[in-house]
Each structure stands twice: as structure tokens, then as C-alpha cells.
Structure 1
Amino acid sequence: LSNDNGFPVVQAFGSFTMDLFTPKSDLDLSVNFSAEIEDQCPRKKKMKVVRKFAKVLYSLQRDGIYCGVLPVVSAKVPIVNVIDRGTGIECDVTVENKDGMTRSMIIKLISSLDERFQILSYLVKTWAKIHDVNSPTAQTMSSMSIISLVAFHLQKLNILTAFTMGSADPPSSNIARVLCLVKRWFRFRKC
């Protein structure tokens, strides 16, 4: 990922790459210094880099390019929140967030298996935001937790197969419509 000059590469992940974003979604970015998935960057180093990014972003904030710069180094994943003034897009900048990138790729793959997963995930995420249960900082569920529950729900209905290594389950024969799946999700009843 780092180019020949050794510079880091910025990669998007999260709802934008999973194609589960809304007009109000933030853009999750990971600044990666290594292309190796196995490379583990120590937390203290991530915190140090986040602080350095925050200093640069504060300078750009004074120039009117960004606003709302907020480093959160005590978070589970150290992060800098920033808003681009030109677009109004809120960005969450992390360092070497390989776990987040990998989870996003997995969810994108699951979405490609059955479009109902993507539709139901989007609907349930929207419902969760409306009901204020989609905010890990408020000790509720993260979007990834909600999406994982949707996947589990569809597995229980034999729409998605188990995500185990070497699973050779045949494609699902369950052709339930999205409306039926939504009803089952929210009312736990059969269609």
C-alpha cells in the first residue's frame, strides 16, 4: 500500500465501501503505512499518529479547509473526527485499521450473495438511527453489530449460509421477499 517513496496510503472502509451509506453517513478512512494485513501497529503508535494528524488538521481548520477537528485517542480505535468544509462530509480518520477494512470487505461480499441482505441491513440501520440505538459512544449498538445481527437473522431463515471455513452449503432456496423479511425482523412472525 505504501508507494515506492514510503508514503502512507489512505483507504476508505465502512458504510461507503459496503454500499450501506446514507446521505448523512460519515466517511471512514484508514491511513495505512503497510500493505500487510498481518502487520499489527501498536496502540500507542496509533495514538501518537492520530495526535500528529490532529495537529495538521487543526492548522487546516484555521485556514478554513476543515472544521470540527476532534481527536479521540481514548476510543477503542483511536480516531480523528473532521468535517470537510467544501462537501460537508464528516470523516473518521484512523490509523492502520485493518480490522475495519477486512470487516467491510466481508460485508460487501455477503451483500453480493443476496441483495436482500443489503436491503434489510439498510432498513434496520435506518430504524436503529431513528430510535437512537445506533451509537456505540452512547453505549448502544454499532452499525457493524446491527449488520451482523441482520446476517444472523438471514442465516436462521436459511437465506444466507453459515460463514464457516469450508462451508459447502448449496445456495438458498428461500425466496422470501424483502417485505416479508422486514416483517419477520421487527415482529418475529412468519409471513
Structure 2
Amino acid sequence: MGAYRALDFVINDILTAVKPQQQDWVIRFHIIDELRKVIESVESLRGATVEPFGSFVSNLFTRQGDLDISVQLPNGSYISAAGKKRKQALLGDLLIALREKGVWRRLQFIAHARVPILKIESKDTSISCDISIDNLHGYIKSKFLFWISEIDGRFRDMVLLVKEWAKCHDINNPKTGSFNSFALSLLVIFHFQTCAPAILPPLRDIYPHSAIDDLQGVRADAERQIAETCAANIARFKSSISRPNRSSLSELFVSFFAKFSGLNLKAPELGICPYTGQWEEIRNNMRWMPQTYALFIEDPFEQPENTARAVSSRQLKRISEAFEVTHHWLTSYSHNQTTILAALVRPHEVQFLTQTPVRNGSYKGGRLGLMPWNQRALKSPSQMQHQHQRTRNNHQGPAQSFAHSSAVTKPHHQPSNDSIPQTSTQQHHPSKPQQMWRPRSS
């Protein structure tokens, strides 16, 4: 584990930079309240409630992460979903009201998407919001990710690291043919399922069929049945662990990139199936045939939907190269903390990390002891890929480069309330299941 010690410090500081603090939660609650006031003023949305979902509910959002909002239409206690045309009309009404309010900018109505969405941004906070109608499916999937994150605290940290890395390499945008954040979370789940020993079980062991199919009838009853089933199965899995995986977060991070390097070569024949926890042959899976996607990552909660359906063949090659070059950068003897940081986070995060002082004396000139921002010549991910193509055949040796970096003293981390609701961040001290936050009805 000593070989990954320096990477541990880099990762810890990245997490410090991207994990939400209490103020980030306050800001998002304020946005939710502001949206609720606007929706109450729209006649066609009378009686509707505002419910967040996505990374805010799963507790997997970063400080700059956007906010997913579902406007739930009144239908008594029963589950129902409006048709696409009605959703488009209602979002159109909401768009008019938001424009009149004057506190939102960059309003964009994506009416003909698979799920119609209204995208807005708060002028005060620059937080983006995606608003949809009756998106109970998104809400329940978010709760599943929250429950899974309570199995092992390393899962949340890995998702946050992978999201930031994907943004750094510009592969976290389905509009341009790359991953959405849900697919990235499923990749982390799959990695934790296929480690030795496994950290997470096949998701069929948590919920034995497609959860979306069970969202019928009385909503409270359906949600309670799903939650109780998951809680019982998660407790059973945790009690049955005889040989826990004790890999450090750094080791799991490096092996994540190793596992998905060459993804474009596997994708024509193999699909990623978190439901079974295995690579599955596409030709043997009748639910996936005919296979017309560049990459298949099955949605374990809504089978056989493909969460990577937006990934294009061209972008898949770029994605595979990003995995490969990052793995090379993390395991090469020739790279230091400066170049590693540039391969993992976006420039503005690099600036924060290198300019924010820490109390530990082993760090000099910044959080990571790096050169000042204006003195460094950091390479972009694309430049790294070009350099990697030229040099990868010349680099041999074990994946232990961080063992040769200069020794640093581990900083003393103080407890902080960086997440609300509180979730487990220690492998051996999981928190008790907590009630998920639900907005008040109005």
C-alpha cells in the first residue's frame, strides 16, 4: 500500500475540493424553494410538488454539480405519468413563468428529448437545474444509488473522483456522445462488483427484478416495498461478508482505469451488466438484441435500457484513450504529483488545490506542494494522450510509481459536515440507514 501513499494525498485533496459543504446544500435548498414559488404561480401546475432527484438525492453531487428537479403532478396517492405532449405543454407554461420572474438565465427548453427537459441556471449561484415532469423513475434510481453508497463509503468517493475525471477529459456529456453521470456511477458499481474480493454484490441480490416495473399503484406502498426489500438484502449481504476487500481508495482508483482501458475493443461483443455483476455477451442476451449501440451499460433498475445509448463510436475511442492514458499517467515512473493532478481534475480545480494552503509543513506553496499556478506548464488531457501515444512503448515496470515520489506527511484531517444527509465514509463503520430527504408538499 505504500506505493500508493502519495496518490492518497492527491485523492484526499481532490475530494476536499469537490465534496459539497454545508453551504452547497443550503444553496440548493434555496433554489428548490424558489422553484416551488414559481410553480405555485402557474395555473396549469396547481397542486404540483417539487421533488429533487439525481445526485442531490443520492448524495453523489459535487460542489459545482447541477440539480435535477421533478415536478410531480397531483394524482391523489396513486402513481401516474403524464403523456409526452402534456409534459411539453406544462414545461412551456413553466418556461414563461420563469422568464417573467427574472432570476434565471440560460433557459433552454429541450422539448423533443426522450424525457422533455427545461434547463435553467440561477443567476445568483450559477447552479444549473434540469426540470422534468413526473420523473418518479429518476427519483427511485437516485434512492438506489444512495442505498448502495451506504454499503461502503469508498463508493461515494470513487463516484466523485470519476465524475471530476470525466469532466476533465470532456467525456461526461451525452450531448456530445459521451457518458451521462448515471452511467459513470454504474461503471463504479461494476468495478466494485468485479474486484477481488467483491465490494458490492450483483444488484439482483439487492433487488431481484426491474424496480421500475414495481412502481405501480399507491406510491407510498410501492416505495415502501422497494425500500424494505433493499434494506433486508443489503443487511444480508453485509452480514455475509467473510473476506472484506481492504484495498485503499488509491488502489481501487488505479485498477478502475486499468479495467476499462481498451473498452472500445470489448464493446462490440460484451455489455456491462451491474444487475448480474458480470460482462455479458451481447449475442447471448436476447434483451439486448439487435445490438445497435457503440457501448452497452444496462440500467439495473430499468432493464434492458442502455444508460450509454448516447455514446457514439467516435467518442468511445476517445473514452477508451482517456482510460488508457490516465492509467499510464498514474502508473508511470516519469510523472509527479503535478502532472497526475492535471490528468484528474479541471484547471480551475488545479488552481484551487495548488493555491489553498494547508497547515502541514510537508506541503510547500500550496495544498499539494506544487509550483504556483502561473509557473507551471500543465498539459491538457488531449496533450497527455498525444504524449502517451509516443511514449507508452518505452514505459515498462510495475504500477508502483508513487512509491518513488518524495515522502510527505499525512495531514491531520478534521471532521467536517461536508454532506447532508450524513453518510458513511469509513469502510468498517457504515452508518445506519437514514430516511431520505423529501420536500414538503405545498
Report the TM range for the smaller structure's normalisation: 0.7 to 0.9
More helix by share: 2
Partner of 2:93: 52
Distance 1:186 1:9, change over 3 A: same
Counterpart residue number, 1:183: 254
Answer with 1 or 2: which has the greater Rg: 2
Shift of 1:162: 1.3
CA distance in 1 between partners of 2:149 and 2:83 (Å): 32
* Pair 1:37–1:14, CA change in 2 (3 A): farther
Alignment-mate amino acid for residue 183 of structure 1: V
Aligned-pair identity (%): 29
Letter in 2 for 1:57: L
Length-normalised TM-score, structure 2: 0.39
More displaced stretch, 31-40 vs 73-82 = 31-40
What is the rounded CA distance, in whole Å, between the counterparts of 1:100 and 1:37 in structure 2?
17
Which of these residues, 63, 67, 70, is aligned with residue 23 of structure 1?
63
Secondary structure of 1:113's counterpart equals coil
Q: 1:42-69, CA deviations, whole angstroms, 9 ceiling, x for partnerless residues?
A: 11111111111111112123xxx11111
More deviation, 11-20/36-45? 36-45
Compared with structure 1, are the counterparts of its residues 160 and 81 closer, same or farther at alpha carbon in structure 2 (3 Å cutoff)?
same
Pair 1:41-2:79 in alignment: no
- Partners of 2:156 and 2:104 in 1: how far apart? 32
2:112 to 60, 69, 74: 74
SS state at 2:126 partner: coil
For residues 93-104 of structure 1, the aligned pairs below 5 Å read 93-104=131-142
Give the C-alpha shift of residue 36 in structure 1: 5.5
Aligned-residue RMSD, C-alpha: 2.1
Secondary structure at 2:131's aligned position in 1? strand
Q: Say which SS state the counterpart of residue 70 (structure 1) adopts.
A: strand
Contact 1:32 1:95 in 2 (8 A): yes
CA–CA separation in structure 2 for the residues paired with 1:56 and 1:91:
15
Residues 139, 76 of structure 1: alpha-carbon distance in 2 compared, 3 angstrom cutoff: same
In terms of mean alpha carbon deviation, does 87-96 or 168-177 score higher? 168-177
User: Contact 1:37–1:98 (CA<8 Å) still a contact in 2?
Assistant: no
Deviations 1:11-33 (A, max 9, x none): 11111222222222111111001
Structure 2 gap segments, 5+ residues each:
1-45, 209-232, 260-326, 328-398, 401-442
CA distance in 2, matches of 1:115, 1:9: 32
Tell me, in whole angstroms, the C-alpha distance in 1 between the residues paired with 2:78 and 2:170. 34
Distance 2:85 2:200 in 1: 39
- Between the aligned partners of 1:37 and 1:126, the Cα distance in structure 2 is 38
Partner of 1:7: 47
Aligned equivalent of 1:108: 146
Partners of 1:87 and 1:97 in 2: how far apart? 25
1:3 aligns with: none
Please tell me the residue identity of whatever aligns with 1:159. I
Instruction: Measure, in 2, the Cα distance between the counterparts of 1:9 and 1:91.
Output: 16
Between 1:167-176 and 1:95-104, the stretch displaced more is: 167-176
Distance (Å, rounded) in 2 between the aligned partners of 1:98 and 1:138 = 26
Higher RCO (Cα < 8 Å, 6 or more apart)? 2
SS in 2 for 1:76: coil
In structure 1, the partner of 2:165 is 127
Question: Which residues of structure 1 form unaligned runs of 5+?
Answer: 1-5
Q: Secondary structure at the match of 2:87?
A: helix
Query: In structure 1, how many angstroms separate the alpha carbons of the residues matched to 2:202 and 2:251?
Result: 21
Count of aligned pairs: 183
Runs of 4+ in 1 over 3 A off after TM superposition: 34-38, 165-169, 188-191
CA distance in 2, matches of 1:55, 1:145: 32
Instruction: Write the letter of the residue equivalent to 1:17.
Output: V
2:89 and 2:190 mapped to 1: Cα distance? 37
Give the conservation status (yes or no) of the 8 Å contact 1:11–1:29: yes
Specify the code of the residue in structure 1 equivalent to 2:151.
L
Task: Specify whether residues 125 and 59 from structure 1 end up closer, same or farther in structure 2 by C-alpha distance, changes over 3 A only.
Answer: same
Residue 187 of structure 2 is aligned to residue 149 of structure 1: yes
Q: Deviations over 1:126-161 (max 9, x none)?
A: 111111110011111100001011101101111101
